[in-house]
Amino acid sequence: MRTNNARTISHARENKILIILIILAAAAIGIFVFTGLNASNFDFNFPRRMKKIAAMLLVSVCVGYSSVVFQTITENRILTPSVMGLDSLYLFIQTLIAFLFGAKKLVLMDSSLHFVLSAGLMMMASLLIFRLVFYGEGRNIYTLVLVGMITGTFFRGISSFLELMIDPNEFSILQGKLFASFKNVNEKLLLISFLIIAAALICSRKDIARFDVLSLGKDTAISLGIPYTPMVLRSLLVISVMVSVSTVLVGPVTFLGILLVSLSREIMKTYRHTYLISGAVLIGFVSLPIGQFVSERVFNGSTTLSVILNFIGGIYFIFLLLKESKR
């Protein structure tokens, strides 16, 4: 009886927190969308801001879900999907196009072609890494993390080398592709991204409850009947799809994942992934519109949202490292 009462109280608390986050998210979206609107500029600004909001919501879902699940799979509360090297691969693809064909080609390239090329290469690289790791004898998720860090460093190093050889004028154009931005979101790509992410979530819907068991550890999960390797491989594929789509849509946001998942764990204080993922996504709904509002109104567009998030996220990441080292 006491266990049931405690569980009911816990669920009531978690539901209350989610309601508060929903209210805060609605307020943040309202502030971003309606501040400064009037009869003379409504027709121009409102659709543009709504497209930005749609992109922010999509990125929040992708980053929030993938970060929570990746930490559960790796049994580590500091790692995020960026360690798989997909962000670095994206930077390498953009830099290589600018180096071979010029930065103008990168800007003038058809948006759909650019989306398919970048996201497709990132997903193919993920499949190759997963195949090499999971189909080798004695290899596991820790091998994947190690391989991801090595490939990420490799692609980042090549990108830096190519950037040194690019004309300074073209490099300034390339920089616009290397930082996350919600300024010019393609409406057609938003629809494609939504369909892809919706399909990925539908494929993984049955695994959300299993993550609660998986968080107990690999051996315990297997003993309780969880098909570990197929489930982990399927989850990693979903993560790679989400990271690829969100990165190509708006650019890499390296530290957003660690912010969302860590704050969700601190606020929700539960092991249930339904609440952890919902909390992380809603925190993204709050932080991205406010961050973009600060970028556009406080800094007058002189800095991008990714710079603000990486600055805050980098400080918070150092805090987490120091916190973990004291345990």
- Domain extent at residue 227: 2-35+45-325
82 within some domain? yes
d(CA 13, CA 181): 35
**Least confident range of 13-22, 44-53, 136-145, 266-275:** 136-145
Looking at residue 28, its pLDDT comes to 93
Give the tokens for residue 245: 């789509």
d(CA 290, CA 187): 22
CATH at residue 209: 1.10.3470.10
Contact 67, 81 (CB under 8 A): yes
**pLDDT digits over 71-84, tens only?**
888 887 777 887 77
d(CA 164, CA 154): 16
- Intra-chain end-to-end CA distance of the chain, in Å: 34
Residues 6+ apart with CB under 8 A from 58: 190, 193, 194, 197, 245, 246, 249
Looking at residue 286, its pLDDT comes to 92
**pLDDT digits over 259-293, tens only?**
888 889 888 888 888 999 999 999 999 999 998 88
8 within some domain? yes
52 within some domain? yes
109 within some domain? yes
Tell me what the mean pLDDT of segment 167-189 comes to.
73
282 within some domain? yes
123 within some domain? yes
Burial of 172: CB neighbours in 10 Å, binned 0-12, 13-18, 19+: exposed
114 within some domain? yes
**pLDDT digits over 140-161, tens only?**
677 777 777 888 888 888 888 8
- pTM (2 decimals)? 0.86
Rounded to the nearest 5°, which phi and psi values hold at 20? -60, -45
40 within some domain? no
> Which one is predicted more confidently, 133 or 46?
46
Domains in the chain: how many in total?
A: 1
Rg over CA atoms, the chain:
20
**Least confident range of 8-22, 40-54, 161-175:** 161-175
